[in-house]
Chain A
């Protein structure tokens, strides 16, 4: 069964750091690009970051650029999101999502259940 399981969320003070992990199973992780997407309480979905299968290409949303770092370890079938200088507005459920490819580009087809990050003093 294809599965993504996020972990590492929790309560952190403003200005603090947190590292999220996403464990992949049931597919060849090293062949797929991956994403982080977040959802603030009661709000819509916001794409956060993308990393290619080989880590050669990385993108960030402007809202997190310079503060968040995406990475992966293909040997461990894991995706990571290092979050620094956290702000109250980073409070959200964070999902990892796998990309699949069609003639019309990459789309997110498999999602984890999410991990909750709360930034508050």
Chain B
């Protein structure tokens, strides 16, 4: 199985900050990567697919980049509603695998 490793595991930031979360795959996955946001007690929400394509309705302050093994999710100007846990997930091969998550907390 392809292992997905996110960093950092948790992070404190302030509203207005620019934040970058990284995700590394244990083998090349081309651009078969999605990013999800999850708030406590809620289902995950798709933010980005194909590594850099913004899902419809997602604010443009979210962006994704990378291909192969190294990927990033950037939030350009943190809003209060962005404090949540973020997961990357590869869909290059089965089993589909998620990163362990990055919890973004208010500083």
Contacts and interface: CB of A to CB of B under 8 A. Distances in A.
A103 B50 CA distance: 8
A61 B95 contact: yes
Interface residues on B, range: 20 to 34
Contact of A109 (B1, B46, B87, B98): B46
A89 B70 CA distance: 31
A29 interface: no
Contacts of A37: 44
A112 B43 CA distance: 7
A107 B34 contact: yes
Given A44-B98, A47-B97, A50-B96, A105 B45 contact: no
User: Interface range on chain A: under 10, 10 to 19, 20 to 34, or 35 or more?
Assistant: 20 to 34
Contacts of B101: 44-45
Contact of B31 (A46, A95, A104): A104
A59 B97 CA distance: 13
Q: Which 7 A-B pairs have the closest CB atoms?
A: A104-B50, A47-B96, A111-B43, A107-B49, A59-B94, A45-B98, A107-B34
Given A35-B96, A45-B38, A113-B42, 16 more contacts: A45-B101, A47-B95, A50-B94, A95-B43, A102-B49, A102-B53, A104-B32, A104-B49, A105-B92, A107-B91, A108-B34, A108-B89, A109-B46, A109-B55, A111-B44, A114-B43
Interface of B: 1, 30-32, 34, 36, 38, 42-46, 49-51, 53, 55, 87, 89, 91-92, 94-101
